[in-house]
Amino acid sequence: MQASAIGPAEEPSSILWGLDPIFSAFARLYVRDILQMTESTQVPGIYFYNSHPINKVDILGTVVYKRERDDFFCYGVDDGTGVINCLCWKSDAFKEEDHSVREKHSVEAYGNFNLVTELRKLRQAQKERSCLDIGEVLRVRGWVKTSRQQREIMGSTYYKVNDPVMAVQIAWMMEVPRLYRECYNKTIQLNPTATGDSSVSMFSKATNIIKDFFKQKMVTRFRPYDIQDLLQPLVFSQPQKAPEDQQPVAGLSACQQLHQLLKKVLEDLQNEGVIYRRVKSQDEVYDVTVQDKDLLLAVKDVISQDSKREKHAEKGCHILHILSAVRQRHSLNVSRAALELVLKSLECSSDIVSTSDSHYTVF
């Protein structure tokens, strides 16, 4: 995955950068691509990967060299595609001495609870997570910058990743390629007006209309013809004119356009996990994921029962284990995207709790 270089003429105006959602996020790019990104000619410190403006990144890799100064650490992080220097500042608590708090005052004020001891433990834990040795796994979030003609990361958040069975690294290696496919490798056309590609605009409006309808009416189950009328105003309001330099051709009728638009919206909502079909049959019935009480109960039961087993007792159930169990017990058609929405809903209602990015258990 090579970062595509863009010239000054191809660079979008800086006024439009905020329209790209990647600009506001910490992009999980490979180190190789971070090193190869081209810097903006308009604003120093902004870089481009495949026309996406980027200034913040999120990386995970192994420490291959280390330098320590009074105020910061310099870690060389290798993610398998390249090595980049990460400047990680020490916090004030890291540099404070333990004798800054009086122990006798702590013991007298709090009885058996020794405040100094607990603070010492907290600082020690912080030091262990921020002071790494060569060969340990480090995650860094920060801003990309070029110093002395070398690309590096100015870390805002960093910590040592305890990953004895490589679960975090495997999850990372599965997630990053998906982000490349769905986000980073897709070229976005930044347009200051809302009227760009009419088909894209119509599709976006149609998707939002259906989502709002689900939320307002608390829809649990539906068939396509139940929601088809909601999209009619979008289709019938479109101008049906052929370009002036072309002869009129027989295009799709309004009904055919409506059918295609609805089909595309349903496919997109399934990909997002918003809806799914519990049983695929000629009777095309869809369930709204977060409103399906049977699905929520099935996921909750899987986590509640399986997290008691010895192999899941420490970290809880991995999302792939939950997905496999739910497909066996509830429906083969439940996608990972749908499961993630259910897990988020259950966690918001305090029915479950996440112990890592991909592990869940009950209270």
Considering only CA atoms, which of 33, 96, 93 is closest in space to residue 59? 33
Domain tally, the chain: 3
Contacts of 179 (CB under 8 A, 6+ apart): 28
- Count Cβ atoms below 10 Å from residue 341 Cβ, excluding itself: 17
Both tokens assigned to 64: 């291959």
CATH number at residue 142: 2.40.50.140
End-to-end, the C-alpha distance of the chain in Å comes to 42
Residues 36 and 155 in one domain: yes
Domain membership of residue 31 as a residue range: 14-164
How many helices, marked H, and strands, marked E, lie in the chain?
11, 14
Count Cα neighbours of 54 within 13 Å in the Cβ-side half-sphere: 27
Is 293:349 a contact under the CB 8 Å cutoff? no
Considering only CA atoms, which of 283, 293, 289 is closest in space to residue 225? 283
> What's the pTM value of the predicted model, to 2 decimals?
0.50
Question: Can you give the pLDDT of all 363 residues of the chain as single tens digits?
Answer: 555 556 555 677 788 888 888 998 999 999 999 999 999 888 888 999 988 999 999 999 999 999 988 888 899 999 999 999 999 988 765 655 544 444 444 444 455 677 778 777 777 777 766 788 899 999 999 999 998 889 999 998 998 898 899 999 999 999 999 999 989 998 776 655 544 445 557 888 888 899 989 988 899 999 999 999 998 888 776 554 444 443 443 456 788 888 899 999 999 999 999 999 999 888 899 999 999 999 999 999 999 999 888 888 888 999 999 999 999 999 999 999 999 999 999 998 889 998 888 899 987
Residue 100: predicted pLDDT? 47
Residue 36: predicted pLDDT? 94
Residues 155 and 261 in one domain: no
Residues 335 and 282 in one domain: no
Residues 36 and 116 in one domain: yes
Count Cα neighbours of 320 within 13 Å in the Cβ-side half-sphere: 5
Residues 26 and 43 in one domain: yes
Q: Which of 110, 144, 164 is the last residue of a domain?
A: 164
Distance CA 185, CA 21 (A): 14
Q: Is 166 left (phi over 0), alpha (psi -120 to 50) or beta?
A: left
Distance CA 76, CA 122 (A): 26
Residues 282 and 314 in one domain: no
